[in-house]
Structure 1
Amino acid sequence: MRAWAMTDDGITLASTSSDKGMGSLAPHQFEAALLADVGHWLSPGRATPVVACGMVGARQGWVEAAYRAVPCAPAGELMSVPVTDSRIAVYLCPGLKQLSPADVMRGEETQVAGLLAAHPGFEGVVCLPGTHSKWARVRNGQVTAFQTFMTGELYALLAGQSVLRHSVGSQGWDDTAFADAIDLALASPAGISARLFSLRAEALLAELAPETARARLSGYVIGLELAAARAYWEGQPVAIIGATTLGRHYATALEQLGAQSEIHDGEALTLKGLHAAYQQTIGV
């Protein structure tokens, strides 16, 4: 859980965080967990608006905020949540859904809304790297289609729980190995399953360096994603949300493939998206 105190015009005054996220809370515990961290920001006799996005609005979260079907604007009408403390008025951002092929997002839509708030008139493709990477098409202020890839989760499972855990390092990097792996994945995605086991075999037979294995594994799984998402990024301007090491890896791979991209700070866009949702529903 991360929270920010903001002025009506979107200036951040303070921030806080805790490890009490959706996975560790029952629905009736969310309010107390929130107040434990933000209570000192509140004033008696005034209901401070709290705008929340992400898994807090999932089926297993505080209250389920229904998905909105694309095509639609990324920021929709907020859902009010019943609370017992008169110092807060809580609102949830709805997620987005796509019926065919079936897909959903929660939280990322707020970052897309922040991108549009920061760059009015943006049209193109948004890439949101992460555990479950998202690619979204944006036209006329709307998300028209999107697709999710379990790339980050696949990497974590392979690096931490498969036989590759004996070969893949947790630190270090090899730029050349990453670039070569991207090329291999794009040229022959069907062969990556065999290439994955070769990481283990080469570590046993040729003392493949752990940092090289790490970069290759990352290149293989990101390359598979880019091969499948070619219709999104090819010939389109790509906005990568996430000024992180992972975001830079995506930018490097896209540049290698001849695509143009620009990296944007994910937290800053989350705040802009939350503020846009506040202005749209509450602050008007």
Structure 2
Amino acid sequence: MINYLLCCDWGTSSFRLRLIDGATYELLEEVTGQQGIATVFDAWKNTGEKNGVSKEQFFREHLKRQIEGLAGKAAQSLDQIPVTVSGMASSSIGMEEIPYATLPFAMDGSRASVRHFEADETFPHELLLISGVQSQEDVMRGEETQLIGLAALLDQEGQRPSDAIFIFPGTHSKHMYVRGGQLLNFETYMTGEVFKLMATHSILKDSVDLRSLSDFSAGNLAAFRAGVQEADSALLNRLFTVRTNQLFKKINKQQNAFYLSGLLIGAELKPLRAKENWQLVLCSGTNLFPFYQQAITDLKLVDRTTFIPAEVIDQAAVVGQVILFQNQHSNVSVYRNESD
């Protein structure tokens, strides 16, 4: 059993590094920032590559600086503490691209695809780089690690349903189909990204006001619920009603932002009504939770939905990383570098 672990969630646009007690999963200290994979990759292309620095070395140096910053906050040396990294760091624009795991994907992490790096003088940390999962037509990186951790946490409480669709809202929402301890399939919905594009870069940008998306006043809530109900297969047509709502002064711009959100979330969730034999598990953080909870209620899906608290979702990624690190010397498929 490891004593401490550095758990890094490195997304396209964000970075989070946490010092974790490996036995209790307790968060001891953390650093966060906007130095996501895309930003670091661009910096390497602009400076590192031109100066002969390899992509792997450039990412390691950035990660090392973040670890040193975390050590300062924790007031202790973090040398020799292992690091696990999930998210986009294993992609083509990350530290090193490694193969995706394939379906079916075991919920205990035993079929995860990872790359192992030994500690050395320049980077005094054993490092485990976690890849994502692919189906025949979809991919994900990071959510599968959260799913592994969440399954373990629910098992501890005896609350994990045997057949369930786990819903992870976000920029690219994931619906993950789990049966018999295995992830069988998953679907990606570009709900969050389409909302941002429509609200900031399309003709609809002048019809919405995004400054009060946390204000669930009666008018805003009514607009959101109307959007959920009106979402259907003619989504491309319904999106233009955001424009006419404003032109005809049916609702104000703030309410219209809620209406747009309702259209997109409704379009994502409505197909679940036909999947009556599946339980639903909503795995949402604090920002999106009220939107998805309201949509699930209005679509009459609430009776077969389990709502996971935001703090459990936050812990799930860490638990998944700890499990994968502990598995690496047993039955995880590990891709080692040639010097190992």
TM-score (norm 1): 0.89
* Partners of 2:287 and 2:125 in 1: CA distance: 36
Say whether 1:32 aligns with 2:75.
Answer: no
Query: Deviations 1:191-212 (Å, cap 9, x if unpaired)?
Result: x323322222231232631121
Say whether 1:104 aligns with 2:139.
Answer: yes
- Aligned residue in 2 for 1:177: 223
* Partners of 2:329 and 2:211 in 1: CA distance: 45
- Aligned residue in 1 for 2:255: 212
Q: CA deviation at 1:111?
A: 0.8
Distance 1:193 1:77, change over 3 A: closer
Residue correspondence of structure 1 range 243-262 to structure 2 within 5 A: 243-259=285-301, 260-261=304-305, 262=307
Conserved? CA contact 2:169–2:283, under 8 Å: yes
Query: Deviations 1:133-166 (Å, cap 9, x if unpaired)?
Result: 1000112221111000111111100000011110
Residue correspondence of structure 1 range 1-284 to structure 2 within 5 A: 1-9=15-23, 10-25=25-40, 26=44, 27=55, 28-39=57-68, 41=71, 43=77, 47-74=80-107, 75=109, 76=112, 78-81=114-117, 85-99=122-136, 102-120=137-155, 121-123=160-162, 124-172=164-212, 173=216, 174-185=220-231, 188-190=232-234, 192-206=235-249, 208-231=251-274, 234-259=276-301, 260-261=304-305, 262-265=307-310, 266-281=313-328
* Partners of 1:242 and 1:134 in 2: CA distance: 11
* Partners of 2:119 and 2:28 in 1: CA distance: 24
- In structure 1, runs of 5+ residues without a counterpart are none
* Partners of 1:134 and 1:98 in 2: CA distance: 13
* Partners of 1:122 and 1:241 in 2: CA distance: 14
Conserved? CA contact 1:2–1:15, under 8 Å: yes
Distance 1:277 1:264, change over 3 A: farther
Q: CA deviation at 1:128?
A: 0.6
Q: CA deviation at 1:231?
A: 5.0
Q: CA deviation at 1:59?
A: 1.5
* Partners of 1:282 and 1:8 in 2: CA distance: 16
Conserved? CA contact 1:56–1:63, under 8 Å: yes
* Partners of 1:55 and 1:114 in 2: CA distance: 18
Distance 1:127 1:88, change over 3 A: same
Deviates more, 1:124-133 or 1:242-251: 242-251
Instruction: Percent identity, please.
Output: 28
* Partners of 2:327 and 2:274 in 1: CA distance: 33
Distance 1:104 1:226, change over 3 A: same
Q: CA deviation at 1:43?
A: 4.3
Distance 1:48 1:81, change over 3 A: same
Query: Aligned partner of 1:3: which letter?
Result: L
Conserved? CA contact 2:83–2:125, under 8 Å: yes
Structure 1 runs of 4+ aligned residues shifted over 6 Å read: none
Conserved? CA contact 2:283–2:309, under 8 Å: yes
Distance 1:247 1:235, change over 3 A: farther
Q: CA deviation at 1:273?
A: 1.2
Distance 1:8 1:201, change over 3 A: closer
* Partners of 2:181 and 2:98 in 1: CA distance: 22
Query: Aligned partner of 1:189: which letter?
Result: S
- In structure 2, runs of 5+ residues without a counterpart are 1-14, 45-54, 332-340
* Partners of 1:81 and 1:61 in 2: CA distance: 15
Distance 1:279 1:201, change over 3 A: same
TM-score (norm 2): 0.75
* Partners of 2:34 and 2:91 in 1: CA distance: 17
Query: Aligned partner of 1:97: which letter?
Result: Q
- Measured on the aligned residues, the alpha-carbon RMSD in Å equals 2.3
Conserved? CA contact 1:63–1:81, under 8 Å: no
Query: Aligned partner of 1:6: which letter?
Result: I
Query: Aligned partner of 1:249: which letter?
Result: F
